[in-house]
Structure 1
Amino acid sequence: MPDDLLDSASDETDLPDVSALLAAAVSGVGGAERPGQVKMAEAVAHAIDSGEHLAVQAGTGTGKSLAYLVPAVRHAVARNTCVVVSTATIALQRQLIDRDLPRLAESLKPLLGREPVFAILKGRRNYLCRHRLQVDAPEDPEEILFDPQTVSAAGRQVQRIHEWAETTDTGDRDELVPGVNEHAWRQVSVSARECLGAQRCPFGTECYAEQARDRAGDADIVVTNHALLAIDALEDYQVLPEHDVVIVDEAHELVDRVTSVATAELSAQAVEITARRCGRLIEEDLADRLKETGEALAPVLADLRPGRLDVLPQEAGVSLAAIRDAAHACATALRTTLQGAGDDAERLGAGRAALTSLEEIHDTAVRFLESFAGDLASRHDVVWLDKPFSDDSRRPVALRVAPLGVGALLRERLFRQRTTVLTSATLSLGGSFEPLARQWGLPAASNESDESDKTGESGESGGEGAPIKWSGLDVGSPFDHARSGILYIARGLPSPGRDGLPEAYLTELSELIEAAGGRTLGLFSSMRAAKQAAEELKGRIAQPLLCQGEDSTSQLVKRFAEDDATCLFGTLSLWQGVDVPGPSLRLVVIDRIPFPRPDDPLSSARQRAIAARGGNGFMAVAATNAALLLAQGAGRLLRSMDDRGVVAILDPRLATARYGSFLRASLPPFWTTYDSATVKAALRRLDAS
């Protein structure tokens, strides 16, 4: 423990312990303490006190938000410090800020001696920019990519933003309901690089983003998202307030969110747009030179096959080097121009936007060129060409680059810097925390506890710096899975193929839905499969059937929840984003094990890298990702103590393949059967009741 924490440790003796605070918090929200919640709160408190990282799995209904917020608030108040809580979804952010934290603060105020302060902080792009709103966005050459109808629609959305701007107190994009598309929002917001800075901006004292940062600086608990947490770790400048503890909720999504932030892309259109953006601010021949490099890149990319690139073709290398040099020359000239702009805020704003684009183009071109240095085993990035499908022609052909892994980044910039608690309903895969721990960059476990204890694993890292210590804890679930749910594995069906859903799958699915009286959430591995199933079954079943894409996902889920007979089919966002307790959901159907596509550039590269080091790339990457999604999908079934139903997995490989035991061990402990008749009879009884 650092010396400054030792000096202030006596402050803790003046406050009630975590168990007393948790009891007050639970009473304040009108709930009842659960054994798993108490166990988790005590473990979080121990992690904060000891500095040992904690991964804690807490099933739906445990009350994990209070279990980590109570010790976090106690620590923040006792040490006069800040604790950061990071989430993956807007829904959880809103739950914490609008419901959990206000009630918690009110309940704990008498015991803590003051009311805890909390705030939400997002990236600057999420806030309305008053300066951009007043002077309008710099002329956006990207509008040439859109047809007039699209531009007009964006104009109407921008007008609605202007009207909302007259009433908003926060400027937070998420408070604008209904929302607007990204093209419209870009007209009224700026990135951190584009921002003029509070001192130079005429609206600096009224800046929504700066006001949010000020509130966060005074808060005990700051709620943010995984993306901003990643930016705080990736960038050399500080984004979040000073803090010594991070709690990562929805931690199963941390690796994907950090990877997304660390991913860059480059297209011919992006280069040409950047050239036009700086064209009026620097010498015309410099901007024309950059524009020409973009035009030269287009045919080079058109000739490449989509997918992962292990070797950089000579023509692509020459084109990227030309873009790098032209962007550097433009940026150098533009910086000189900006130095002479004085207090001309409008010119400064346009210049900062152009300079940001130039720097991104330059840095991305450099990253592409450096990604191919050395042999395959020593590379840290994966490069691939992304060509859109014909029905998405507005999305340009682009080169993309992403880190092969983010474990080293998280290890050095998160776990070595501050105490971290990672929590989710799904962290233990195949009965172990290690599959996700490896992806996070945590060291291998040194021991395993027995199954009944489930205190998980602990380990410490060698290498540079002090050892990294962590432990895993599964506090279980309040649900009696074996009595409340059935896991049906359709062992008698054929293995899935590449040519859509087999007829046997459609027949089994329709019979299951009829037995359940509708009430079905269909989770498919692709949108193609979801649409095929919806089209085929609409003529076979009597119940209403909705398919993702027919309306906004939120509206579809709302309609599904309001009508017991309705079925809803969809893909990835439904696997993790649906919370429908009660009789509207009695059957969750999963069409196949959700392995990554074999040609997925990032997944295949990660598997290859692990295999090159002597590991099992398939199990470490493909099977781990599939297990995580399966557990999340199966978790849609039981959302309240009264829920009952069936999770049906149509893919027989879950029962027959060697990796099936690992995947089954990742699922909730439902009663398992392979008998279709038994399952349909159970569903009919549920429907009748």
Structure 2
Amino acid sequence: MDSSLPYPALYATHGGIWIASPDGEVRGIGRGEAAARAAETPMITLNAAVTATRLGIAEFSGLDLLELFAFVHPARFAVPTPAGLARALGLTPPVDDARAPAFLLDAAKALLGRMAEPEDWAERSGAWNSAQSLGRLGWPWARPIRHVLREPAQAERGLFARLPEWDEAGGRPPPRNIQLGEAETLERLAALTGAKAEAREGQKHYAASNARAFDPRLGEGRPNLVLAEAGTGIGKTLGYLAPASLWAERAGGAVWISTYTKALQRQLDFETRRLFPDPAVRREKVVVRKGRENYLCLLNLEDALQGGFQNRAAILAQLVARWAMYSRDGDMVGGDLPGWLPTLFRRAGSTALTDRRGECVYAGCPHYRKCFIERSARASEGADIVIANHALVMILAQRRADEGHPLGRIIFDEGHHLFDAADSTFAAALTGQEAIELRRWIIGPEAKARGRRRGLSARLSDVASYDEEGALAIEAASAAATQLPADGWLGRLGENLPLGPVEKLLAAARATVYARASAVDAGYGLETDVGEPDPELIDAAQPAIEALEALVRPMARLRQRLTAVMEDGPDWLDGQARARIDGAIAGLTQRGQLIAAWISMLARLGGPIDPDFVDWLAVDRIEGREIDIGLHRHWLDPARPLAETVLKPAHGVLVTSATLRDGEDWTIAEARSGVPYLDHAPRHVAVPSPFDYASHAEVLVVTDLKRGDVAQLGQAYHRLIAAAGGGTLGLFTAISRLRAVHARIADRLARDGLPLYAQHVDPIDTGTLVDIFRDDPHASLLGTDALRDGVDVPGDSLRLVVMEGIPWPRPTVLHAARKAAGGGSVFDDRIVRARMRQAFGRLIRSADDRGHFVLLGAATPSRLLDAFPGGVPVLRVTLDEAIARIGASSGPARARAESDQKISEPGEP
């Protein structure tokens, strides 16, 4: 292969821009020249979206090395930086940014070289066909690939021919009733930790106590409930995997392990390799189960490959198809699809390739027997361990309980988020977006609407021809659905020209919100409670109720007819038809419950307030642009439906977290876990962290910054990050301040060799931002709530956490109601302490970690400072004093990071 490439390479950071000629000669250039060259000459770069942001241009249409990597090694991970790519390819990383463009040329040659040696290229199959398709779309890498990729001797099988079909399986028998002994539980724990592992008494106590969640329950509605707080460093995941895996093996049942973050799901998936080292056995015994919207939809992909997508979106579809050939499970969000791949395409993103809400045709799909979603659902039926998220587990627990097959054993890790997850899961919202989704599900595409969605009449045409009553019900439901909002509803409301009763209701809600609401930042959403509603809103509610009732009646009748058809078993009712009708019945049930909640909400307008619920009106906006309007209802205490629909049907539940309690008080943990709605007490387990926080960490409360002064705030962040030499996680309570600080300091820090990344600024997904941060001990990362919890960065890559202020809860209508019911300011203090405790938990993740936690809040009340572990020094200092203390300890930390940097795959411990 000719090792030369006719393209220059460009590398841009906040600290400078460098270009390498095709022969490797490098020089620094200015932003203006770089933008001009980018418009004229195809150039190799690393992450074109980020490069465009650094150059201040809308698009960079060069040859992105990440796209080439995704083509050559689909379903493989690489940190999307020069150093990360070098490790993935076995190359020597560049010593500094100025040498990065020359390295990009070397990396491109290495990737192309792998295609020239097919015997050493594990992902060779399918590459030829994919390259031809990408070439027809004008993909810039297609031309150099043609010079090295040889046509295979035999025609390649396409994706849809390669994917295996899933098999039907019989129902699983109920698990046996067994009781785990302490000795066997600890024996399983020892097998998981390994013979060379240090004996941890806290972990042993934790594992043995958790085993009681798997005891046979003593009565209906009386689950064995264990609330377990295990401090950081206990080894929590192995501490519950030991009894969970032992029970599943001996009882023949499944244990559902639920998390709040995808990061913990990845860690759990990795930890189960200890249980089942053989990959084939592990695929059978361990399943990661997510919501349908996380998985690649093969029918959507087929539409895209056949011309449904244009330009960059079509290129993304081809790269996703290539990935799908090698994917473990088709999970596009947190699975083995590199998180950075969809972000390279910005607006031409991957959401159109997933299973969008309401469009699945189930057994009517030609790819149904190969569907990743259906495969995952069926695999979970026979698995020992099913890893899922809180929302999905709650939805499935409710559905399974209604069907008489409840989720028997559940572990809720990150249990401090259980209340928030239940709050979202059991809420109702009658909004324009929700209503139009319902209309589309019933009627299907209308007028010039794009997409392949099929309405009820198309999905159930065979039923309609067989059952006259069912056909009439479909016709009546479709007619009633025309009273729901249609395309263009937001524009009509803006012009005060609503059509139909539900649009008129939304128009009245919008008028009420604008009349009564106020916002600190007028660019964001507005809301107001429904107390003393306007007469116009009350008048609009009744016609909307009548329209919804006219819709729900034929939907209920259709559900009954579908059930009858299933019982009759006509000749045409084969396995696929049964699955399709089952899907329709489930959809009708779910949407019937949704409409019933809407009707209940509207019936309360103008009447007495229901003390169990909090209702409000909202106009959702992004930077001043309206995106949705509607009425919202949440449980005042969502732990109540949690207890009724999830806890009571179960036999055993473990709720665990490192921050489950508020100090020493179990009352709050019990209240937020649903215990008050059970008639028996849970078992409490508390195992403190083995880490020496007092000597390894220090909390500094900075007292001399003026609140609201963004210039001072930016200067403080710059000086603190510089003093620590990077390795800083900056947490913000407002996106606007995050962006303002980043804009002020990113260039200055980069010129000192300290790269700065930020959520809501860099066009990179949050998981990848954390991967980059973990990978570079000099890097720092700014973010909001998503980074305050669930981020695991052990070692010297994280040695300073800075919070820009006290994380008070937003003063929403819902928060105000819960605050009034929960004790006023005491309720707020409890939330703040929990958030500060979670943020501090990012700092010390292993026994050798050391660092500082800085709170930029002069007015921080002393009563909040017990959020930090006992014995940790808490000092109120000036900014200069804080910088001096951080600088004095940052040198050894940086030296350790540079001499002994240990990089692990994302999610690995």
Q: Could you tell me the TM-score, scaled by structure 2's length?
A: 0.61
Residue 309 (structure 1) aligned with residue 529 (structure 2): yes
Shift of 1:286: 4.7
Residue 513 (structure 1) aligned with residue 715 (structure 2): no
**Residue equivalent to 2:271:** 100
> 5+ unaligned residues in a row in structure 1: which ranges?
108-113, 141-149, 444-460, 611-615
AA aligned opposite 2:528: R
Q: 1:640 to 1:372 in 2, by over 3 A?
A: same
| Contact 2:777/2:796, CA 8 A, preserved across alignment | yes
Residue 580 (structure 1) aligned with residue 793 (structure 2): yes
Residue 171 (structure 1) aligned with residue 171 (structure 2): no
Shift of 1:314: 3.4
Q: 1:165 to 1:624 in 2, by over 3 A?
A: same
**Residue equivalent to 1:649:** 855
**Residue equivalent to 1:147:** none
**Residue equivalent to 2:658:** 425
Residue 118 (structure 1) aligned with residue 286 (structure 2): yes
- For residue 522 of structure 1, the aligned residue among 711, 714, 730 is 730
**Alignment map for 1:122-161 (pairs within 5 Å):** 122-129=290-297, 157=316, 161=320
Please, which moves more after superposition, 546-555 or 567-576? Answer: 546-555
AA aligned opposite 1:684: G
Q: Matched residues in 1 for 2:384 and 2:873: separation?
A: 44
| Contact 1:21/1:70, CA 8 A, preserved across alignment | yes
Q: Matched residues in 2 for 1:217 and 1:276: separation?
A: 31
1:401 counterpart SS class: strand
Q: 1:581 to 1:172 in 2, by over 3 A?
A: closer
Q: 1:385 to 1:509 in 2, by over 3 A?
A: same
Q: String of CA shifts for 1:604-646, please: whole Å, max 9, x gaps.
A: 1211233xxxxx13323x2222222111111111122222111
Shift of 1:89: 1.7
**Residue equivalent to 1:17:** 184
Number of aligned residue pairs? 626
Shift of 1:330: 4.6
AA aligned opposite 2:856: L
| Contact 1:429/1:628, CA 8 A, preserved across alignment | yes
Percent identical? 28
Q: 1:318 to 1:95 in 2, by over 3 A?
A: same
**Residue equivalent to 1:451:** none
Q: Matched residues in 1 for 2:432 and 2:792: separation?
A: 42
1:529 counterpart SS class: helix
Shift of 1:670: 2.0
Please, which moves more after superposition, 356-365 or 164-173? Answer: 356-365
2:376 counterpart SS class: helix
| Contact 1:89/1:225, CA 8 A, preserved across alignment | yes
Q: 1:632 to 1:303 in 2, by over 3 A?
A: same
1:604 counterpart SS class: helix
| Contact 2:313/2:348, CA 8 A, preserved across alignment | no
Q: 1:603 to 1:156 in 2, by over 3 A?
A: farther
**Residue equivalent to 1:484:** 696
**Alignment map for 1:208-219 (pairs within 5 Å):** 208-219=372-383
AA aligned opposite 2:271: D
AA aligned opposite 1:415: L
**Residue equivalent to 1:329:** 550
Q: Matched residues in 1 for 2:479 and 2:507: separation?
A: 22
AA aligned opposite 1:618: S
Q: Matched residues in 1 for 2:540 and 2:349: separation?
A: 28
AA aligned opposite 2:891: A
**Residue equivalent to 2:229:** 57
Q: Matched residues in 2 for 1:115 and 1:162: separation?
A: 22
Q: Matched residues in 2 for 1:171 and 1:255: separation?
A: 30
AA aligned opposite 1:635: G
Q: 1:33 to 1:115 in 2, by over 3 A?
A: farther
AA aligned opposite 1:617: G
Q: String of CA shifts for 1:451-490, please: whole Å, max 9, x gaps.
A: xxxxxxxxxx7xxx7x321233331113210110101122
| Contact 2:261/2:790, CA 8 A, preserved across alignment | no
1:588 counterpart SS class: strand
Q: 1:573 to 1:285 in 2, by over 3 A?
A: closer
Q: 1:425 to 1:353 in 2, by over 3 A?
A: closer
**Alignment map for 1:601-620 (pairs within 5 Å):** 601-610=813-822, 616-620=823-827
**Residue equivalent to 1:449:** none
Q: String of CA shifts for 1:124-148, please: whole Å, max 9, x gaps.
A: 44444556666899xx9xxxxxxxx
Q: Matched residues in 1 for 2:277 and 2:203: separation?
A: 20
Shift of 1:571: 1.1
Q: 1:380 to 1:264 in 2, by over 3 A?
A: closer
Residue 548 (structure 1) aligned with residue 733 (structure 2): no
Q: 1:162 to 1:355 in 2, by over 3 A?
A: farther
Q: Matched residues in 2 for 1:362 and 1:303: separation?
A: 23
Task: Give the number of the structure whose alpha-carbon radius of gyration is greater.
Answer: 2
Q: Matched residues in 2 for 1:413 and 1:353: separation?
A: 17
- For residue 802 of structure 2, the aligned residue among 557, 579, 589 is 589
Residue 470 (structure 1) aligned with residue 702 (structure 2): no
**Alignment map for 1:349-428 (pairs within 5 Å):** 359=592, 362-372=595-605, 375-376=608-609, 378-393=611-626, 395-416=627-648, 417-428=650-661
Shift of 1:381: 3.5
| Contact 1:324/1:366, CA 8 A, preserved across alignment | yes
Q: 1:650 to 1:158 in 2, by over 3 A?
A: same
**Residue equivalent to 1:455:** none
Q: 1:492 to 1:603 in 2, by over 3 A?
A: same
Q: 1:671 to 1:31 in 2, by over 3 A?
A: same
Residue 685 (structure 1) aligned with residue 888 (structure 2): yes
- For residue 866 of structure 2, the aligned residue among 650, 660, 664 is 664
Q: String of CA shifts for 1:205-245, please: whole Å, max 9, x gaps.
A: 44443432332222222222101121134447569975432
2:675 counterpart SS class: coil
Shift of 1:359: 4.5
Shift of 1:348: 8.3
AA aligned opposite 2:730: G
1:477 counterpart SS class: coil
> 5+ unaligned residues in a row in structure 2: which ranges?
1-172, 218-223, 447-456, 458-474, 486-498, 514-525, 566-571, 893-909
| Contact 1:248/1:423, CA 8 A, preserved across alignment | yes
- For residue 67 of structure 1, the aligned residue among 224, 234, 239 is 239
Q: Matched residues in 2 for 1:576 and 1:182: separation?
A: 30
1:173 counterpart SS class: coil
Shift of 1:196: 5.5
Q: 1:471 to 1:348 in 2, by over 3 A?
A: closer
1:430 counterpart SS class: coil
Shift of 1:69: 0.7
CA-atom RMSD, angstroms? Answer: 4.2
**Residue equivalent to 1:224:** 388
Q: Matched residues in 1 for 2:324 and 2:284: separation?
A: 30
Q: String of CA shifts for 1:94-143, please: whole Å, max 9, x gaps.
A: 2222x211212359xxxxxx999332323344444556666899xx9xxx
Q: 1:408 to 1:298 in 2, by over 3 A?
A: closer
1:521 counterpart SS class: strand
| Contact 1:386/1:399, CA 8 A, preserved across alignment | no
AA aligned opposite 1:177: P
Q: Matched residues in 2 for 1:187 and 1:359: separation?
A: 27
Shift of 1:386: 3.1
AA aligned opposite 1:383: W
**Residue equivalent to 2:32:** none
**Residue equivalent to 1:265:** 429
Shift of 1:151: 8.6
Q: String of CA shifts for 1:280-318, please: whole Å, max 9, x gaps.
A: 754786554445324424532331223232324333344
AA aligned opposite 1:468: H
Q: Matched residues in 1 for 2:175 and 2:351: separation?
A: 47
Q: Could you tell me the TM-score, scaled by structure 1's length?
A: 0.78
| Contact 2:836/2:867, CA 8 A, preserved across alignment | no
